Amino acid sequence: MSAKAFVDGLLQSHKVVVFSKTYCPYCHKAKSIFDNSSLKAGSLEWIEIDERKDCNEIQDYLGKLTGARSVPRVFIGGQFIGGCDDTVAAHKNGKLAKLLAEAGAV
């Protein structure tokens, strides 16, 4: 399966998808926001790309899709909402809760 097919499939089949790396402090910060939210079971798919052989291909495709290869890359309802700083800001200003509700994730 190509990186594009893998990523696109996840975005179509899950309400919230986060592409992350296990050692990334920004990813851990974003994860804590989602860990403390009331997401429906099965709504969140957290992908640790550094544990996959196709990590570079996934990052390359995410770069084409979002304009950056950095992690985390956070998607809600199939739409890219940003990285860590964007996710934290959306959480603080209430936009994240609204996006999660609109996507049916809470």
What is the model's pLDDT at position 94?
Answer: 94
pLDDT of residue 36: 79
pLDDT value of residue 1: 84
Beta strands in the chain (DSSP E): 16-20, 44-48, 73-76, 79-82
Phi, psi for 62 (deg, rounded to 5): -60, -35
The tens place of each residue's pLDDT in the chain, 106 residues long, gives 899 999 999 999 999 999 999 999 999 999 999 987 788 888 999 999 999 999 999 999 999 999 999 999 999 999 999 999 999 999 999 999 999 999 999 8
- Tell me what pLDDT residue 77 has: 96
Question: 3-103 maps to which CATH number?
Answer: 3.40.30.10
